[in-house]
Amino acid sequence: MTHAFRQHSILPGFGLAMGFTVFYLSLIVLIPLGAAFLKTLTMGWTQFWETVSGPRALASYRLSIGASLVAASINSALGLLTAWVLVRYEFPGKRIVDALVDLPFALPTAVAGITLTALFAGNGWVGSWLEPLGIKIAFTWLGVVVALTFIGLPFVVRTVQPVLQELDPEIEEAAATLGASRWQSLKRVVFPELLPAVLTGFALAFARAVGEYGSVIFISGNMPMKTEITPLLIVTKLSQYDYSGATALAVATLAMSFVLLLFINLIQWWSRARYA
C-alpha cells in the first residue's frame, strides 16, 4: 500500500518513520489543538462573540497588536542595520556580537522579563536616566514595546544576514561604474533585494510578539484596559476557571496567527517567484 502512496525508493524505513511521525504529531499537537477548537463549538456563537468583543478583550488586542507592530518595526530598522554592520564591516569583537544576537532566542522569557524590568524601572540603570526626562518605560505600554523588541530582535537580523552575504558585490560595482552615488545604489539596488527578507523577518517578529507572555507580564504592570496583553487576559480567565472565556480568546488569537502564517508563506512565495 505504501508503494502506491509514495514513489518507489530503495531506502527502507518509510513506513516506520512516517507512521511514528504522524502518530506523535497527532498525539502531541493535532488532537489537543483540535479538542480546544471543538470546545468553542460547544459554547455557542453569541457567548463566543460577547467574550471576544468585550471592552477588556478589545483593549488587550489593541495593546498586543499595537505594541507588536511598533516592536516589529523597530526590529526591522535596527535588525537591517545590525545585519548590514555584521556582514559588511569589520570591527573587534564582531564574532561575539554576532553570537550574542541569538540571546533572545535562547534566554528564557521569564528571565528576560524580570531583567528588563530591573533595567528599565525608575531605579534601574536605564530607567533612572530616562525618568528625569519624563519618560516612563516600566509599567507602561512602552515597557511592553521594550520587551517585545528584545524578543523579536534576532528575527530580522537572521533573515537578512544570509541574503546580504549572498548578494553579489558586482551589482553594486556596476551601479557605481554607471555613475550612481553610494546612496543611490543602496536605495535602488541593494534595498530592493533585501526587502523580502526584511518583510519575512518583520512578520516572524510580529507573530512571535503577539503571543508573547513571559517577558511582558513583569514589565507591563498588567493594569486591565491599560497594560494588559491578550495572552495575560487568557491566563486571568483560566485562573478564574472561566474555561470557555479563555478558549474563545485563544481561538481568536489562533485565527490571527494563522492569517499571519499565511501572510509569511505568501511573502516567501512572492519573493521566490520574483527571483526564479
Partner 1 sequence: MISNSRHPGTKAIGKTEPRWVRALLIAATLLFLGIFLLLPLVVVFTEAFKKGLDVYLESIREPDAAAAIRLTLIAAGIAVPLNLIFGVAAAWAIAKFQFPGKSLLITLIDLPFSVSPVISGLVYVLLFGLQGWLGSWLAERDIKIIFAVPGIVLATIFVTFPFVARELIPLMQSQGSEEEEAARTLGAGGWQTFWRVTVPNIKWGLLYGVILCNARAMGEFGAVSVVSGHIRGVTNTIPLHAEILYNEYNSAAAFAMASLLTLLTLVTIALKALIDWKSRIEVREAPQQALTEGLV
Site for partner 1 in 133-192 (CB under 8 A): 149-150, 153, 169, 172-173, 175-177, 180-182, 185
Residue closest to 119 by CA, chosen among 218, 213, 208: 218
Give the whole-angstrom CA distance, residue 137 versus residue 188. Answer: 37
Closest distance of CB 168 from partner 1, Å: 11
69 touching partner 1, by CB under 8 A: no
Whether the Cβ atoms of residue 153 and residue 79 lie closer than 8 Å to each other = yes
Whether the Cβ atoms of residue 190 and residue 172 lie closer than 8 Å to each other = yes
Closest distance of CB 235 from partner 1, Å: 6
Closest distance of CB 226 from partner 1, Å: 20
Of residues 202-231, those binding partner 1 (CB under 8 A): 207, 210-214, 218, 231
Residue closest to 229 by CA, chosen among 241, 220, 237: 220
Nearer to partner 1, 141 or 151 (CB): 151
Give the whole-angstrom CA distance, residue 253 versus residue 233. Answer: 11
Please report which helix (H) or strand (E) contains residue 189, including its range. none
Which of 50-58, 104-112, 134-142, 188-196 is the region at the interface with partner 1 (rule: CB under 8 A)? 104-112
Nearer to partner 1, 56 or 182 (CB): 182
Question: Phi, psi at residue 212, to the nearest 5°?
Answer: -65, 140
DSSP 194-210: HHHHHHHHHHHHHHHHH
**92, 132, 134, 273: residue in contact with partner 1 (rule CB under 8 A):** 92
Residue closest to 144 by CA, chosen among 102, 105, 108, 116: 116
Which of 50-58, 114-122, 134-142, 190-198 is the region at the interface with partner 1 (rule: CB under 8 A)? 114-122
Nearer to partner 1, 59 or 107 (CB): 107
Question: What does the per-residue mask of binding to partner 1 show for 226-255, with x meaning CB under 8 A?
Answer: -----xx-xx--x--x-x--xx--x--xx-
- Count of residues in contact with partner 1, rule CB under 8 A: 99
| Collapsed DSSP state (helix, strand, coil) of residue 51 | helix
Q: Distance of alpha carbon 245 from its chain centroid, rounded?
A: 25
Of residues 36-65, those binding partner 1 (CB under 8 A): 36, 39
33 touching partner 1, by CB under 8 A: yes
